[in-house]
Amino acid sequence: MTDALVHAEAHGRVLVISMLREKKRNAVDRAMADELDVAFNRLDDDPELWVGVLTGTGRAFSAGSDLSAGGDYSTERGGEYGIIRRTRRKPLIAAIEALALGGGLEIAMACDLVVAARDARLGLPEVVRGLLPTSGALFRALQVFPVNLARELVLLGEPISAQRACDAGFVNVVAEPGQALPAALDLAERLARHAPLSVQASLAAMNGLLAAGDEAGWAATGEALDSVKDSADLAEGVRAFLEKRPPVWTGR
């Protein structure tokens, strides 16, 4: 379909899931979340598929939530964006070109391995808009980055380079610009050579341990959101973003 927002295509045992909303830098709205959910369900449910690769377009991996759409981006099986709260056994690799910002970086954090182009930028700019990360970054950033770098990403809202993210241990492979997907496919094909049940059981065990603190993490995120959701600054941040102007903060 020419108007599809997500395309999923099998390459042998590997399912490549591509986000195609390039004009919006692959920001996720309700329709795109639903299409992502269908693709991830296919990966989970098809026994012939052993590894997934999630990628965007040349302009962006994803800029996260579409603020102009508003509303809910959650699905029954996957949570936010169809992926954030999904329980998976099959490895999923993020292939990042250009940028992964806000919810886009949270999507990458929900994957198991990360490939990023050398010129890609990764960040959590929510505070710049009077918001805060609500799709796992407030606790997952502490798992995948050193503590002070996690604080820097959340509190300053400034993106970092793919190389810095690699040096910190988050990015597994730094690829040349335009080569993130081929590099991710190479990684996926290497994974697919191994016994799938062994890979899946190992991944489930590791992810299960990491998820042990998720309940507390989601509770802390909810408390943080409650403290700002009705603030004048949050409304001003979103309004300023949509109007393409600097926000005027009041601290209220």
Residue 126 annotated among the catalytic residues of the structure: yes
Residue 56 backbone dihedrals phi, psi, to 5 degrees? -115, -130
pLDDT tens digits, residue range 179-229? 999 999 999 999 999 999 999 999 999 999 999 999 999 999 999 999 998
Which single residue is written with the structure tokens 């990023």? Answer: 116
Half-sphere exposure of 142 (CA within 13 A, CB side): 10
Catalytic residue from among 9, 35, 126, 215: 126
pLDDT at 2: 58
pLDDT tens digits, residue range 87-133? 999 999 999 999 999 999 999 999 999 999 999 999 999 999 999 99
Average pLDDT of the chain? Answer: 96
pLDDT at 71: 66
Residue 35 annotated among the catalytic residues of the structure: no
Residue 1's pLDDT band, with cuts at 50, 70 and 90, is very low
End-to-end CA distance of the chain: 46
pTM: 0.96
Helix (H, G, I), strand (E, B) or coil at 118: coil
What is the token pair recorded at 227?
Answer: 């403290």
Domain range summary for the chain, segments of one domain joined by +: 6-176, 213-243
pLDDT tens digits, residue range 148-164? 999 999 999 999 999 99
Identify the helix (H) or strand (E) that includes residue 29.
Answer: none
User: Is there a contact between 228 and 238 (Cβ–Cβ < 8 Å)?
Assistant: no
Cα diameter, the chain: 57
What is the token pair recorded at 61?
Answer: 């991996």
Instruction: Quote the crossing angle between the two packed helices 137-144 and 147-156, to the nearest 10°.
Output: 140
CATH dotted code for 6-176: 3.90.226.10
pLDDT tens digits, residue range 52-100? 999 999 999 999 999 877 768 899 999 999 999 999 999 999 999 999 9
Catalytic residue from among 106, 176, 223, 243: 106
Concatenate the DSSP letters of all residues of 196-219 into one string.
Answer: HHHHHHHHHHHHHHHGGGHHHHHH
